[in-house]
Amino acid sequence: MLADVCRRLDGLPLAIELAAVRLRTLGPEELVQRLDDRFALLARSGAAGAERHRTLRATMQWSADLLSDADRVLWRRVAVFAAEFDLSAAEAVCSDGILPRAAVVGALGRLADASLLERTQIRGRRCFRMLESVRAYGRELLAAAGEERALRRRHRDWCARVVTWAATDYVGPEQVRALDGLEAVHAELTETLRFSAATPGEEERGLRIAADLWLYWAARGHLGEGRRRVDALLAACPAAGEARSRGLLAAGYLALAATDPESAVPLLEQARELASRTGPALVGALATQYLGQAALFRGDLATADRLLRAAAARYERTDPRYRAFCWADVGVVALLAGDLAEAGEAFDRSLALGRNGDPWTRSHALWGLGLVRLTAGDLVGATRHEQAALRLMREVDDPSGTALCLEALAWAAAAEANEERAARLTGAADAVWRSIPARLPAPMGGRRDACTGAVRAALGERRAAALRAEGEAMGRTATVALALDERAPVPVPRHTDKAGALTPRQREVAALVARGLTDREIADRLVISPRTAESHVEQILTRLGFRSRAEIAAWTAERALPGR
């Protein structure tokens, strides 16, 4: 916990010294909880020492007084960023008549020279970051200057442009680049969505951003966060209109991604009905497809086939790029209905339509063709197709698609009487499903049961369980390498050297994250504030070098941390 205090205070000697004084009256956890108001908390009584060394605020003010007017303006304005930012972002958000765009580059350099910004490299780009205490004081300056809401809006508009640009590539060959770009600004997206949800009059713009992130939320392991943010903004935007129809669509899609068709169907029905009145037409087409997927999840194959074919026809008139994934879904319905010829034709059609499209859709179609080959008894062809699908999913970094490929490869291994491989892959799939959190769609349960039964019969209950546990502990990178027959390290639980980086409280929070609890639910369970719970999660991500709650959940499952 004391190490956490030092981290939150950026290792600043004066701040740590002042915090140590407060430990005479506050426990470490109480101190951490009060650091959001660090400038009121960290002050030295008495008159000893220079004034600028008596309080953290005085030290920051002394630094500000040494700057030019333009540099002080930029300090307070770049404090609106939650994490790293580059020159183009600073120019877009911070420049105006007072601080011209051409002046930003020089001011950034001077702030870095004054140690108020740190220079860093991210994916080959020169970026800047602020220490937490420097950012907190900058935000005080921003509020005092009366610019906070205006800068929050500029930051929100910049985020909206980034998301809009990325969303246009969701179903194109640049899909991975688009998702990577969103991952790089995840902290900014979180910041702007908080602002939008908490500020009257800003909710609709926030809902548009959250809805446009629909694929990112699911494909990059942020499913729980995406559902929470979209649901909160929908509740704040009850008026019928295009923004609400898009929000309802995103909420329904994310519920499906969590294999929760019961929650998804009413949301998707509302989205389709509202889109028929207010638009856009693409929302109606997508809602129809996802309603078809929901029917598939429920085992209603006739309804699923009707809705999916209707959606494919709608895409002809709205956005033909979406046809490929829809036809892959038609193939899954035919496969489950036992019509292998129809299924193969639909998957082939999907691949033809998506020849120059996105890897996510191609993976889905290859996964389906692999199951067609498996059902037909072509085990070599099945494995080849599933491995091709998994390579694409590794590129996209989508956990649910990865889990489906691992499942199918386990079924193929069991059919080849390679029960040990099947057991490991089944355990690995379980770990990925838990990390999302989601589960294997119910219509596929029969195949999973057949695989599990064959493994137990061949190996015995104890050996099968041991191998399955081994697969769960491997971590996704090693598991995918195993599934692809690539050279991989000896399977051991990943990140085992990082367990000591977490405090007991953080390990407790990590266990609750693994169980799928939201920040508010964690706060209620531990009797702490939601902001403190959110802070714990952010600190866990930082300490373990993770990007998402899904990775925390997977790591927790692998280590079987206390509290599971």
- pLDDT classification of 43: cutoffs 50, 70, 90: low
Q: What percent of the chain has pLDDT over 70?
A: 84
Say if residue 13's pLDDT is above 80.
Answer: no
Q: What percent of the chain has pLDDT over 90?
A: 68
- pLDDT classification of 14: cutoffs 50, 70, 90: low
Q: How many CB atoms lie within 10 A of CB 153?
A: 18
Give the E-state strand segments of 16-111 in sequence order.
85-86
- Domain 503-559 belongs to what topology? Arc Repressor Mutant, subunit A (1.10.10)
Which pLDDT does position 1 carry in this prediction? 55
**Residue 61 CA, distance from chain mean position:** 37
Boundaries of every domain in the chain:
2-46, 67-146, 503-559
- pLDDT classification of 405: cutoffs 50, 70, 90: very high
Angle between helices 323-336 and 359-375 (to 10 degrees): 20
pLDDT digits (tens, 9 = 90+) for 254-303: 999 999 999 999 999 999 999 999 989 999 999 999 999 999 999 999 99
Say if residue 207's pLDDT is above 80.
Answer: yes
CA distance 368 to 331: 7
Q: Are 110 and 90 in contact (CB under 8 A)?
A: no
- Compute CA distances 264 → 268, 274, 422, whole Å: 6, 15, 32
Say if residue 516's pLDDT is above 50.
Answer: yes
Which range has highest mean pLDDT (15-29, 43-57, 368-382)? 368-382
Q: Could you say which DSSP state residue 484 is in?
A: T
Which range has highest mean pLDDT (115-124, 459-468, 495-504)? 459-468
Higher local confidence (pLDDT), 338 or 39:
338
Which pLDDT does position 492 carry in this prediction? 38
Q: How many CB atoms lie within 10 A of CB 21?
A: 13
Q: Quick one: CA dihedral 490, 495, 496, 498, positive or negative?
A: positive
Higher local confidence (pLDDT), 139 or 531:
139
Enumerate helices (H) and strands (E) in the chain, giving the number of each. Answer: 32, 3
- pLDDT classification of 81: cutoffs 50, 70, 90: very high
Spatial neighbors of 53 by CB under 8 A, at least 6 apart, are 14, 44, 59
Spatial neighbors of 23 by CB under 8 A, at least 6 apart, are 31
Q: Could you say which DSSP state residue 376 is in?
A: T
Kind of pairing between the strands at 85-86 and 125-129: antiparallel
What is the residue-averaged pLDDT of the chain? 87
Higher local confidence (pLDDT), 500 or 253:
253
Say if residue 128's pLDDT is above 50.
Answer: yes
* Single-letter amino acid, residue 8: R
Which pLDDT does position 534 carry in this prediction? 73
Q: Do domains 67-146 and 503-559 have the same CATH topology?
A: yes
For 424, the 3-state DSSP assignment is helix
Q: How many CB atoms lie within 10 A of CB 93?
A: 24
Which pLDDT does position 437 carry in this prediction? 85
Say if residue 86's pLDDT is above 80.
Answer: yes
- pLDDT classification of 11: cutoffs 50, 70, 90: low
Residue 518 has, within 13 A of its CA and on its CB side, a CA count of 12
pLDDT digits (tens, 9 = 90+) for 146-163: 999 999 999 999 999 999
Q: How many CB atoms lie within 10 A of CB 205?
A: 22
Q: Are 5 and 31 in contact (CB under 8 A)?
A: yes
CA distance 291 to 303: 9
Which pLDDT does position 98 carry in this prediction? 94
CATH of domain 67-146: 1.10.10.10
Tell me how far apart the terminal alpha carbons of the chain are, to the nearest angstrom. 21
Say if residue 8's pLDDT is above 60.
Answer: no
Which pLDDT does position 541 carry in this prediction? 76
For 265, the 3-state DSSP assignment is helix
List, edge to edge, every strand of the sheet that includes 118-122.
85-86, 125-129, 118-122
Which pLDDT does position 538 carry in this prediction? 72
Spatial neighbors of 288 by CB under 8 A, at least 6 apart, are 272, 307, 310, 311, 314
Which pLDDT does position 491 carry in this prediction? 41
Report, as an integer, the average pLDDT of 306-322.
Answer: 96
- pLDDT classification of 4: cutoffs 50, 70, 90: low
Q: Quick one: CA dihedral 261, 263, 269, 271, positive or negative?
A: negative
Enter the pTM of the model: 0.79
